[in-house]
Chain A
Amino acid sequence: MNGVLRRLPVGLVYGIGLLPPGVLFWLAATGGLGVEPIKALEHELGQLALQMLIVGLAITPLRRFAGINLLQFRRAIGLLTFYYVLCHLLVWLVLDVQIVGQIWADIVKRPYVTVGMGAFVLMIPLAATSNNWSVRGLGPSWRRLHRVVYVVAVLGGLHFVMLSKGLQIEPLLYLGAILGLLALRLRPGQRKALV
């Protein structure tokens, strides 16, 4: 299996991964996402980002516990996650909130927006240092910096839980998956092996 995975070009992951926001936007513009396409597009993109985040968090446990090696795709998955979050944020800013004065008010006053925005801001340095030059230049601190993704993941999961109305199971499943994948990394005595 790992042999097959190794022959899979990373470019294919980027190629396929770049498509969904475009497809969703096209669907939203042509009635494929229902009669209130702005919210639908925003939610689809947010969920896509969370799903990609979960895939990214699963890479290390998959390698350790199932022997499946997806390490070569990790950077692509991380950058695609950032790309989905960015699309989600742009839809929120440009199509949903619209009113400039309210954007900052929402970020400051609405905890779920604050949490989501915090996750996005924390992702910026990670995306910006996702190049070989930064990896070499930052050395061991690159690895430490990129552990921030654990914080991003928890904030992302919380963001979804906090915005839902009523006790809904889906956001809790996402948060549960994120916390579960993080917990797999916290086995005592293995801290040195953390990635």
Chain B
Amino acid sequence: GLGLGSIAGPLAAKAELEPNSWDDITSYNNFFEFGTDKGDPAAYASALTTSPWSVTIDGLVDRPGQYDFSDIMSEMTVEGRIYRLRCVEGWSMVVPWNGFELSDLLAMAGVRDEARYVAFETALRPEEMRGVSRPVIEWPYVEGLRLDEALHPLTIMATGLYGKPIPNQNGAPLRLVVPWKYGYKSIKSVVRISLVKDEPPTSWSKYSAREYGFYSNVNPNVDHPRWSQAHERRVGGGLFSKKVPTLMFNGYDQEVSALYDGMDLAKYH
């Protein structure tokens, strides 16, 4: 896969990003499996057993199987990545993740030529996830990326935060992070990764395709039907926090816009 060297420039340019505090990042979460309030994941996600953990990698791969989390970690190179996170709801944070490139994990399983998309699935454990007793959305949570998006060097599987193991409310033990897409694309507590031929269904677009498209790229020019996406508010700024303009592709325009050359981003929102 592509190494870190190819993106060292853009990453360095983002070095001035001031990360949100540990408290901001771990107390204000959307993880509906544990409840719909922002504080629910911090309050209830500790019920999730994250060790042992394994990820099934299947579909169009050379070496399908159940990969144990510790085996994965022994193969991967974990590094720090400070990324913007923009929620579709209009708030944002800057998060210092630790993780490895998804492309490295996919290479471990060996992607076959016919694969075009990657489908992801979150754990579904009713006895540990108090939120799944209600049909807020269809469970389990599923997400998907086009293969080139998945292989992009900015796309990581995060396993840590501020150099510590990632807390349950943030998607322990491993979660996807796709920094140029709205936060809900960055699926948490992943148990299955499938390489597939066709565009896989995604939880929020199953709920409302009009509001939540497959691509879900951060785009200040394409409004959510119920609110504007032109501005965002950084979490942690207090009661008089000012809104700031949202950046195209969440500020990763240079790195990722080529993935969408010639596409109508309003249609493929």
Contacts and interface: CB of A to CB of B under 8 A. Distances in A.
Contacts of B226: 110-112, 162-163
Interface in A144-180: 162-170
B221 to A, nearest CB: 14
B9 to A, nearest CB: 32
A167 B233 contact: no
A35 B239 contact: no
Contacts of A99: 231, 243
Contacts, number: 64
A166 B207 contact: yes
Interface stretch (B62-70, B98-106, B131-139, B248-256): B131-139
Given A29-B239, A35-B24, A102 B137 contact: no
Interface size grouping (class) on chain A = 20 to 34
B136 A166 contact: yes
Contacts of A168: 36, 134, 136
Contacts of B23: 35
Contact of A34 (B27, B32, B89): B27
Contacts of B260: none
6 contacts: A34-B27, A36-B91, A36-B233, A36-B236, A165-B36, A168-B136
B241 interface: yes
B239 A105 contact: no
A167 B243 contact: no
Contacts of A111: 226
Interface size grouping (class) on chain B = 20 to 34
Interface string B233-269: 1011011111100000000000000000000000000
Interface in B32-83: 32, 36, 38-39
A57 interface: no
Interface in A39-81: 39-41
Contacts of B235: 35-36
A28 interface: yes
Contacts of B32: 166
A72 to B, nearest CB: 36
Contacts of A106: 227-228
Interface string A95-114: 10011001001100011100
Interface in A2-59: 25, 28-29, 34-41
A40 B241 CA distance: 13
A166 B137 contact: yes
B38 A34 contact: yes
A35 B240 contact: no
B239 A41 contact: yes
